Amino acid sequence: MIYVVLFFLAFSLFLYVLLGGADFGAGIVELFSSKENQQITKKTIYRVMGPIWEANHIWIIIVMVILWVAFPVYFNIIMISLHIPLTLILIGITLRGVSFIFRHYDAVIDESQKIYNGLFRFSSVFTPLLLGMTFGGIISGSIIPPEAIHQYGFGEVYIDSWLNSFSFLTGIFFSALCAFLSATLLIGEADEAHEKIYRRKSAIATIVVVLSGSILILYGYVNNYVFIKDFIQNPFSVSLIGASALTLIPLWIHIKKGHKILSRFYAGLQVVMIIAAAMIAHFPYVLITKQGELSLLEGIAPDSVIRVLGISLIVGGLVILPGLFHLLKSFKMIKVLES
């Protein structure tokens, strides 16, 4: 059953990165657009993302619930040492969620739109940046385990754990991934005149992804980060990254030829491969503390709990996934089904 739970954990995480990530990225793309294009992007995002907008963000709750139920020790450590960035993420999620709804559901369209738009764009950049930084914190080796926190000062325990160059680079990298996903998705949703805009955005985002990814690896390597060392030495991870880079070629070809579905598929696959490479590099040691690495499976919940959780997840999955799929299909998120 633990494998079922791990599968759902990874599955939810991937879907959060893909769907939620594309959603965050939409705000980033909107921010970095000219005034006129911002309006077009806003409308496109609403049309494309609107129906599945809520569902996109529930994956993070599923991830949280699985973590606290099945991996309580692990959850306990990140909740204590990453308290500040997680709180900031919550603010970001809150502002983003409400501004998205407010700007589309306010009965009167007036100056207040400016505030909603500003909030939406700002939180769309801020939130994935902090999500990336939190993940960077988890693997940067600066976390201090709860039993040792009294030996350190406030700054070392609660600030240095996530506010360091390594996790900042991870944050930039993750935000770029989101922008890349979103721009590639939007290409297929724009009319011919605007397609060009998103193609350019997608190309720029790709460059930022590659650049920030390389800098992250280089920085980690030079400064002896355990995670990066493991990453580079792991043949699976390296080949996945290589494969992800190679997929850029078919991606570009399909974008050029206007194959909407295939370009989406390749963009998604690329991101999945990158995240999977990072996960495999270190599995099952997902948390790197100052005093060593901690396995996800350490302090795992008892069998009886894992069994019930696994069953709940399977039942939930059977209910949710067909519904979600039907929703995506109904609103033409999956164009492949139309032909």
Partner 1 sequence: MENLDAARLQMAFTLAFHIIFACIGMVMPFFMVVSHYKWLKTRNQIYLTLTKSWQKGVAIFFVTGAVSGTALSFELGLLWPEFMKHAGPIIGMPFSLEGAAFFVEAIALGFYLYGWNKLNERFHWITGIIIGISGVASGILVVSANGWMNAPSGFDYINGEFLNIDPVKAFLNPAWFSQALHMVLAAFTATGFAVGGIHAYQIYKNRNVELHKKAFRIAVTFGAIAALLQPISGDISAKDIAQRQPVKLAAMEAHYNTEKGAPLYIGGIVNEETQEVKYKIAIPKALSFLSFGDFDAEVKGLNDFPKDTHPPVAITHYAFQTMVGLGTLLVIASLIFFISYKRKKWTAKNKYWLLFIIMAPLGFFALEAGWVVTEVGRQPWIIYNIMKTKDAVTPMPGMVYSFYMYVILYTILAVVVTWLMQRQIKVLNKTPIES
Q: Which residues bind partner 1 (CB under 8 A)?
A: 50-55, 57-58, 60-62, 64-66, 68-70, 72-73, 75-76, 79-80, 83, 86-87, 89-91, 93-94, 97-98, 100-102, 105-108, 146, 149, 154, 158, 301-302, 304-305, 308-309, 312-313, 315-316, 319-320, 323-324, 327, 330-331
DSSP 224: T
Nearer to partner 1, 214 or 330 (CB): 330
In the complex, minimum distance from the CB of residue 324 to partner 1, in angstroms, rounded to a whole number: 6
Cβ neighbours, 10 Å, residue 116: 19
Residue nearer to partner 1 on the CB measure, 203 or 320: 320
| 223 contacts: CB under 8 Å, gap ≥ 6 | 166
Identify which of 70, 119, 47 has the alpha carbon closest to the alpha carbon of residue 304: 70
205, 265, 10, 222: CA torsion to nearest 10: -40
DSSP symbols for 278-310: HHHHHTTEEEEETTEEEETTTTPPPHHHHHHHH
Nearer to partner 1, 3 or 105 (CB): 105
Torsion of CA 247, 253, 255, 259, to 10 degrees: -100
Query: Quick one: which of 201, 208, 198 has its CA closest to 173?
Result: 208
In which element (H, E) is residue 240 found? helix 235-246
Q: Is the Cβ of residue 105 or residue 193 nearer to partner 1 in the bound state?
A: 105
- Compare residues 93 and 176 and give the one whose CB is closer to partner 1: 93
Q: How far is the CB of 65 from partner 1 (least distance, A)?
A: 5
Q: Which is nearer to partner 1, 83 or 260 (CB)?
A: 83
Burial of 330 per CB tally in 10 Å (0-12, 13-18, 19+):
exposed
Q: Which is nearer to partner 1, 216 or 287 (CB)?
A: 287
Instruction: Give least dist CB 274 to partner 1, A.
Output: 25
* Nearest-approach distance from CB 97 to partner 1, in angstroms: 4
For the bound state, the minimum distance from the C-beta of residue 322 to partner 1, rounded and expressed in Å, comes to: 10
Nearest partner of 124 among 18, 49, 12, 29, judged by Cα: 29
The span from the CA of 274 to the CA of 268, in Å, is 10
Cα dihedral across residues 85, 137, 277, 32: positive or negative: positive
- Closest approach of partner 1 to the CB of residue 163, in Å: 15
Q: Least separation, in Å, of the C-beta of 105 and partner 1? A: 5
Q: CB-wise, 20 or 220, nearer to partner 1?
A: 20
Q: Is 143 helix (H, G, I), strand (E, B) or coil?
A: strand
CB of 10 to partner 1, least distance (A): 16
